[in-house]
Structure 1
Amino acid sequence: MINPHRIDFVSLSLFALVARTGSISKAATLAHLAVGAASKRISDLEVGMGAPLLERHSRGVTLTVAGQALYRHAQRILADVDLLAAELSDFTSGIVGVVRLWANTSAVTQFLPQQLATFTQANPGIRIELEEKNSSDIVLAVLDGRADVGIFADRTPTLGLQCLDYREDHLGLVVPKQHPLSRRRELHLAEALDYDFVSLSEGTSLAERLQTETEAMGRRLKLRIRVRSFDAMCQMVAAGMGVAVLPLQAVRELVRSMQLRQIALKDDWAQRSLLLGLRDINAVPRHVRTLIEHLRSTTP
Structure 2
Amino acid sequence: MRLDFIDLKLFACLADYGSLTLAADRQALALSAASQRLKKMETLYGVELVERRARGIELTAAGQLFLHHARQLLLAAERLNGELGDFAHGLRGEVRLMANTVACNEYLPKLLGRFLAATPRVDVTLLERPSRDIVPSIEHDEADLGVIDGSASIGTLNVLPFARDRLVLIAAATHPLAGHPTLAFADALEHDFVGLPANSAMQRHIEDMARLRGRVLHPRVRAAGFTALATLAGAGAGLAVLPERAARRLAPLEHLAVIALSDPWAVREMKLCFKSTDTLSAPAHALLELLAHAHHA
Q: Verify same fold: TM over 0.5.
A: yes
d(CA) in 1 for partners of 2:103, 2:88: 29
Cα displacement string for residues 195-219 of structure 1 (whole angstroms, at most 9, x for unaligned residues):
0112223343322322332233334
Contact conserved, 2:100 with 2:147, CA < 8 A, in 1? yes
Matched AA of 1:250? A
1:171 aligned residue: 167
1:89/1:293 CA distance change after superposition, 3 Å: closer
Contact conserved, 2:98 with 2:129, CA < 8 A, in 1? no
Q: Structure 2 residue aligned with 1:129, among 107, 124, 133?
A: 124
d(CA) in 1 for partners of 2:193, 2:94: 40
Q: Structure 1 residue aligned with 2:258, among 254, 259, 262?
A: 262
1:253 aligned residue: 249
Q: In structure 2, the residue corresponding to 1:169 is in which secondary structure?
A: strand
- State whether structure 2 residue 189 is matched by structure 1 residue 186: no
Matched AA of 2:222? R
Aligned-pair identity (%): 30
Where do 5+ consecutive residues of structure 2 fail to align? Answer: 1-83
The two structures have a TM-score, normalised by structure 2, of 0.60
Moved more, 288-297 or 167-176: 288-297
Cα displacement string for residues 131-179 of structure 1 (whole angstroms, at most 9, x for unaligned residues):
2412255445434434221223345565654433321110000111211
Cα displacement string for residues 56-107 of structure 1 (whole angstroms, at most 9, x for unaligned residues):
xxxxxxxxxxxxxxxxxxxxxxxxxxxxxxx988644486x43222333311
d(CA) in 2 for partners of 1:279, 1:112: 20
Residue 269 (structure 1) shift: 0.7
Residue 270 (structure 1) shift: 0.4
Q: In structure 2, the residue corresponding to 1:274 is in which secondary structure?
A: strand
Q: In structure 2, the residue corresponding to 1:190 is in which secondary structure?
A: helix
1:226/1:159 CA distance change after superposition, 3 Å: farther
Residue 235 (structure 1) shift: 2.8
d(CA) in 2 for partners of 1:166, 1:134: 17
d(CA) in 1 for partners of 2:245, 2:127: 18
Residue 290 (structure 1) shift: 2.3
1:211 aligned residue: 207
1:144/1:229 CA distance change after superposition, 3 Å: farther
Q: Structure 1 residue aligned with 2:275, among 275, 279, 287?
A: 279
1:276/1:243 CA distance change after superposition, 3 Å: same
Contact conserved, 1:193 with 1:222, CA < 8 A, in 2? no
d(CA) in 1 for partners of 2:272, 2:159: 5
Q: In structure 2, the residue corresponding to 1:252 is in which secondary structure?
A: helix
Q: In structure 1, the residue corresponding to 2:221 is in which secondary structure?
A: strand
Cα displacement string for residues 97-125 of structure 1 (whole angstroms, at most 9, x for unaligned residues):
4322233331132222332344445x436
Q: CA RMSD in A?
A: 3.0
Where do 5+ consecutive residues of structure 1 fail to align? Answer: 1-86
Q: In structure 1, the residue corresponding to 2:170 is in which secondary structure?
A: strand
